[in-house]
A and B are shown apart, each in its own frame.
Chain A
Amino acid sequence: MRFSFAVLAGADIIIYMAENLNCSYCNKPATVHLTQIVNNKIIKVDLCESCAQSKGVTDSEGYSLTDLLSKTNLGPEKGEPQITCPDCGLSTADFRRTGRLGCAACYQYFVPLLKPVLEDMHAGTIHKGKIPDVALSRQTSMAKLQSLESALLRAISEEAYEEAAKFRDEIQAYKEDAESEAVQS
């Protein structure tokens, strides 16, 4: 067997060749048995030689059981919510198959499936790190400006000129504010 120490270095691994289990993926006889303790939970996976290869277990570049499990459809629970992201079309089945999300919006819609995964995977489920202040404030002000502009167009098309004038002034004031802030910074 090609298995050696460096490859397994990502995990607490016990190789017990004696047990005659089948591969968790394709049901061929399993030759590789992995155990890792993640956040005090024991996770076990049995793999045949070729699945071990294709799942990247033998890739010394990047291997951890958590990665492996997150990318698998091991035990998809019956009756779990069937979600489809309206932005990119990712489905529950896609998520279970690849372990990856499709777009930024998926993180809003897949929360029920994500939470348990994140709890197992990370030190917590709330971000405590860096915040992209500049980009966030720009995004909020862009959104605000866009909603004012579409309100202005709507008011014009409805010939509500008094309202339109109000929106026009607001947009003007908003742009001036943004400019003076930019000058200050």
Chain B
Amino acid sequence: MIESLLKADSAELTQSTKKGAPVVLSTRLRLARNLVDVPFPERASNSQRSDVMTRCADQIAELTQMKHGAFFDIAELSDLEKQVLVERHLISRELCESKSGSGVFINKDQTCSIMINEEDHLRIQFLKTGFSLRSVWKQIDRFDSSLENDLDLAFSPEFGYLTACPTNLGTGLRASVMLHLPGLVISEHMDKVIRAVNQLGITVRGLFGEGSDATGHVFQISNQQTLGESEGEIMARLGSVFKTIIDHEINARFKYIEENRARLLDQIGRAFGTLQNAHVINSNEAMNLLSLMRLAVDLEMLPEVNRSDVDRLFIECQPGHIQYAAGVGIEPDARDLCRADILREEFSRLPALDFDKVNKLG
């Protein structure tokens, strides 16, 4: 069912032709919304849930932003298809496990997904590569307002938008930025950063893999609080934390290059060699090697045009994607072979690493 999504030639996260940026991968905003006259999904009956799904789906399908979009009924997706959508951050794990009457709308370039009957009746998500809280907010705000023209949303003047869990009450806004922070991890400054950022009401999470290490050195920073501040204030705070983290990351990188140049070049060189020659590689190792390749692009050891390839492989090397690409039912061990095949093929096309660039630095 999801074939057309994976084959799309315009997907924001995997096919973007825009110039990428060092450190920041993507910006993502989410709004939680509920209809006023039906219990929240967990307490709604099956017929109420399917009524919500029909009403919302009809309205959403009408909106111009959803032109050429696709709707998926979760009950009709296979486990593997759901996993692929989770790996693309288009749906949540909670939605996968939900009862009947849940679905998701995904627009053509996969910058927007609307989950129906997740924890709330509606979870609207917009994303963009790079850092752009303001422009993503404009899009999601407009979308939300156009929904409001036809749907009566649960809202109270005191508490704002009413949500199933009080942690989302008020604005219903979760703003997050995905960051690539190898400098802070390698220099072991990450926990200090996390502690400081926590004090400011910002959460830091690893991105890839359950319960795993901060695989790929990718982190997501997002606001914890949704009530008592306007959307603008929430995003301003996140933005300022974001800028501080970037400064620290860049400093950590320069310091590391200054003190451990040979070691860093060795790590990047070996990673490149492994990616070009490995025949068995698990997802964890792949993420960590790809992280070093993204760093290599930042350091101009690889051409800037290859940044989007690395970012795409971050997603395409996830277990679900590998299995989906391989066709039906392969064992986890076989996945590691397929992943290595893909990576060898991709990295054989890249030019050799330009070590001189780093030697000229500092």
A35 to B234, CA, bound (A): 25
Q: Is A100 in contact with chain B by the CB < 8 A criterion?
A: yes
Given the known interface contacts A59-B210, A128-B233, the answer about A138 and B156 at a Cβ–Cβ threshold of 8 Å is no
User: What is the distance, in angstroms, from A96's C-beta to the closest C-beta of chain B?
Assistant: 13
User: What is the distance, in angstroms, from B275's C-beta to the closest C-beta of chain A?
Assistant: 23
A12–B198 CB distance below 8 A: yes
- Give the interface residue-count category, chain B: 35 or more
A146 to B282, CA, bound (A): 63
Q: Is A62 in contact with chain B by the CB < 8 A criterion?
A: yes
The 0/1 profile, CB within 8 Å of B marked 1, for residues 153-164 of chain A is 000000000000
Please indicate which of the listed interface residues A3, A6, A99, A122 has the most CB atoms of chain B within 10 Å of its own CB: A6
Please indicate which of the listed interface residues A2, A58, A101 has the most CB atoms of chain B within 10 Å of its own CB: A101
The chain B residue sitting closest to A90, CB to CB, is B43
B165–A123 CB distance below 8 A: no
A9–B204 CB distance below 8 A: yes
Considering only residues 268-294 of chain B, those with a C-beta below 8 Å from chain A are none
Q: How many A-B residue pairs have CB under 8 A?
A: 187
Q: Which secondary structure dominates where chain A touches chain B?
A: loop
A6–B215 CB distance below 8 A: yes
The count of residues in chain A whose C-beta lies closer than 8 Å to any C-beta of chain B is 56
The 0/1 profile, CB within 8 Å of A marked 1, for residues 152-178 of chain B is 111111111111111101110100000
Residues on B with C-beta less than 8 A from A4 are 211-214
A151 to B156, CA, bound (A): 27
Contact of B155 among A58, A71, A135 (CB under 8 A): A135
Contact of B226 among A61, A88, A122 (CB under 8 A): A122
Contact of A102 among B39, B92, B159, B206 (CB under 8 A): B39
Contact of A135 among B92, B153, B195 (CB under 8 A): B153
B212–A88 CB distance below 8 A: no
B166–A118 CB distance below 8 A: yes
Q: Is A129 in contact with chain B by the CB < 8 A criterion?
A: yes
Considering only residues 77-105 of chain B, those with a C-beta below 8 Å from chain A are 92-93
Residues on B with C-beta less than 8 A from A89 are 43
A125 to B156, CA, bound (A): 12
Contact of A107 among B156, B195, B203, B231 (CB under 8 A): B156
Residues on B with C-beta less than 8 A from A132 are 145, 148, 153, 155, 161
B212–A122 CB distance below 8 A: no
User: What is the distance, in angstroms, from B168's C-beta to the closest C-beta of chain A?
Assistant: 10
Contact of B145 among A3, A108, A134 (CB under 8 A): A134
A121 to B203, CA, bound (A): 13
Given the known interface contacts A9-B214, A128-B233, the answer about A102 and B207 at a Cβ–Cβ threshold of 8 Å is no
B227–A124 CB distance below 8 A: yes
A70–B165 CB distance below 8 A: yes
Q: Is B228 in contact with chain A by the CB < 8 A criterion?
A: yes
Known: A104-B36, A127-B159. 12 other contacts (CB 8 A): A4-B212, A10-B204, A12-B198, A59-B211, A66-B224, A104-B34, A104-B156, A118-B169, A122-B225, A123-B229, A134-B149, A139-B36
A-B contact list, 11 entries, CB within 8 Å: A6-B212, A9-B206, A60-B209, A88-B43, A122-B169, A123-B201, A127-B160, A128-B170, A129-B234, A132-B161, A136-B155
* A-B residue pairs, 7 tightest by C-beta: A124-B228, A6-B206, A127-B160, A104-B154, A123-B228, A6-B214, A129-B171
